[in-house]
Structures are given as C-alpha cells and as structure tokens.
Amino acid sequence: MLRKLSGLIISVVIAVIAFILSYVHPSFEALAISIILGMLFSNILQDRQFLNDGIELTIKVFLPVGIALYGTQLSIRSLDPAMTPLVFLTFIAVFSLVYLVSKWSGLKNNIGILLATGISICGASAIAIVSPLIKSDGEETSISLIVVMIYGLFGMIAYPLLANFLDLGMKEFAFVSGTTLPMIGQIKVAASAYGTECVTTALKYKLLRMSFLVFLVTLTLFLSRKEDRRIYIPWFIAVFVLLALVVNIFRLDRLSEISAPVSRFSLSTALAAIGLSVDFESITEEGIKPLIIVVLSIAAILSAQFLIFRVIM
C-alpha cells in the first residue's frame, strides 16, 4: 500500500519544500519550483514505475481542488474600472501574438496555448489550470511552465534596466511590468526599482489580468478542440467560475484569504506529481524554440507599448 502511495507522498513533500523556498525570495514561485523539483527527483531514479499509481492519484485529487479554489483569488472589486480597456487590449495582444507565432513556427498546439496563457495571465497558475482542459501531457505542461518562468526571471532583471535606458516614468513602467511579466513575485521585484507606489500600481494591473482567466478558460477549450471533440466543461471549472463570480458579487475577503494557500498548495502538489512523470529527454526535444517565441513576441508588445507612450506623452 505504501509503495502505491509513494508518488503521492513524494509529491506532497516536494510541495512543502517548494512552499518553504517560495518564502525565501518574492521571485520564487512555489508552483514552478514544485514541477522542477519533481522532474529532478524522478530523473535521478533508475526505475520510476513504482511512482505511477501515486502520481495518478495526486493529479486526480489535488489538481481539481487547486483549480476550483483558485476562483476565489480573482476578486477585482477594489480595482478602478478605467484600467480595464487598456489592460484587456494588452492581454489580447500578448495571448494572440504568442499563440499565432507558436502556430506559425510549428510548435505543438497545446504548448502554444499554454505559453500564451502563462505569459498573458498569471504564469504557473494559469498553465496549471488550463493544462487539464486542453488535455496536455506532462512534457507540454513542463516545457511551457519552465519557459514562462525563465522569461519572467529574465524580465525581472532586464525590465528596470530597459526602462532606465528608455527613460520610462513610474506610471509607464508600472503598466509595462504589470501587464507583461507573468508572475506576481517577479512584478514585485521589477517594480520595486521605481518604489512602493509603482509596485502597488503594477499589482493592480496584474490582478486585473488574472480576472481574465475566467474568459480564457472558454477560449482555450475552443482552440484545443478537434473536429470530432465536443466541448466538455469539468466540474472543477464550473466551481472555479462560480467562486470567481461569488467573490466579486459579495464581500468574502475571508474566504479568499483562507482558500489562497490551500489552492496554491494543491496546485503545487499536482505540479510536483506532473514533474515526477516527465522525462528530461522529452523536454529537450523542443530545444529553445519556445523561449525564442516568447521573447520575440513580448519584445514586439513592449515596442508597441513604448511607441504608444511616446505618442501619448
């Protein structure tokens, strides 16, 4: 019995370690760390077959729970509605460009969807939520998550340097970092170069982006649908959308606070299990093409934003 549950036990242990590491620095994302640690652990084993039953159980239990509860994190009650149009246009531009360039370059459709989702919304969390909807395998999920994480870490360092070179003001930089960096911790670190007010403003843009995940769920289902496949909406997505609506209609801040760590831990555990099932060789097959696609796509978006800033100013 213990042998059958070993995959689950190891996934939980990895998630705990990832959670602890995520508090070391704001740029450390527990979900990304979990899948990487899972991959590292499984690839040093001679035989991984004994993990399979536990891995399957972990994904079946923790992934739906994490996704369903994540809906409570999409509250936008305190945000300025005037922000919505520009942020939404940027979101559409980022998602469309990354997805279309991925498709044009011959990347697998699922990887293109996950890359576009992770970059345009909220990094690892968005990828974890969309992955089961489009029936992506462990390799596709891992590649997408690692690429998004690498870009975010690179952007966290490069954005302030680029902004200084281009002489961007605080408001402009808050918009740039808040609408194009994938993860909250990376936005905090990058925006801190311009001070506390910049961080606060950038995070508001980020929270607004996260709310678009509700609409993106439908879009990704459509993009991944094959001609003979009916659109199927799992129960946890229905709960996810319902909770997102509830926290925006009623004042349920306490619910959001309680469910946030539960959702993150559940997603981290599920991603650790996915990492345990991934072979490094399958990851390297795509090479650096996905990262190049993301970098070139976001470079085009940043260039467009800079030109708009100059016209407005």
Per-residue pLDDT of the chain (313 residues; tens, 9 = 90+): 666 688 899 999 999 999 999 988 888 889 999 999 999 998 888 777 888 889 999 999 999 999 999 999 888 776 777 778 889 999 999 999 999 999 999 999 999 999 999 999 988 899 999 999 888 988 999 999 999 999 999 999 999 999 999 888 999 999 999 999 999 999 999 999 999 999 999 999 998 999 899 888 878 877 776 655 566 678 898 899 999 999 888 888 888 899 999 999 999 999 999 999 887 777 777 789 999 999 999 999 999 999 888 887 5
pLDDT per residue over 13-43, tens digit each? Answer: 999 999 999 988 888 889 999 999 999 998 8
126 falls within a domain: yes
Q: Which of 261, 202, 255, 209 is nearest to 95 (CA)?
A: 209
Calpha distance 14→99 (Å, rounded): 31
In DSSP notation, 87-127 reads HHHHHHHHHHHHHHHHHHTT--HHHHHHHHHHHHTTTHHHH
Calpha distance 171→187 (Å, rounded): 14
Structural domain of 134:
6-312
- The pTM score is 0.90
82 falls within a domain: yes
> What's the chain's average pLDDT?
89
253 falls within a domain: yes
pLDDT per residue over 181-199, tens digit each? Answer: 999 999 999 999 999 999 9
Sorted by sequence, the CB contacts under 8 Å of residue 18 that are 6+ apart come out as 30, 31, 33, 34, 37, 268, 272
Calpha distance 246→216 (Å, rounded): 18
Domains: count for the chain: 1
Long-range contacts from 253-257, C-beta under 8 angstroms, 24+ separation: 253/75, 255/72, 256/72, 256/73, 256/75
Q: At what angle do helices 196-211 and 213-224 cross, to 10 degrees?
A: 50
Q: Which of 149, 162, 141 is nearest to 28 (CA)?
A: 149
Q: In one letter, which amino acid is 203?
A: L
109 falls within a domain: yes
1 falls within a domain: no
Q: Please give the angle made by the CA atoms of 32, 223 and 126, to the nearest 5 degrees.
A: 20
282 falls within a domain: yes
Calpha distance 154→159 (Å, rounded): 8
223 falls within a domain: yes
User: String of b and e for 279-305 (b: at least 16 CB within 10 Å)?
Assistant: eeeebeebeeebbebbbebbeebbeeb
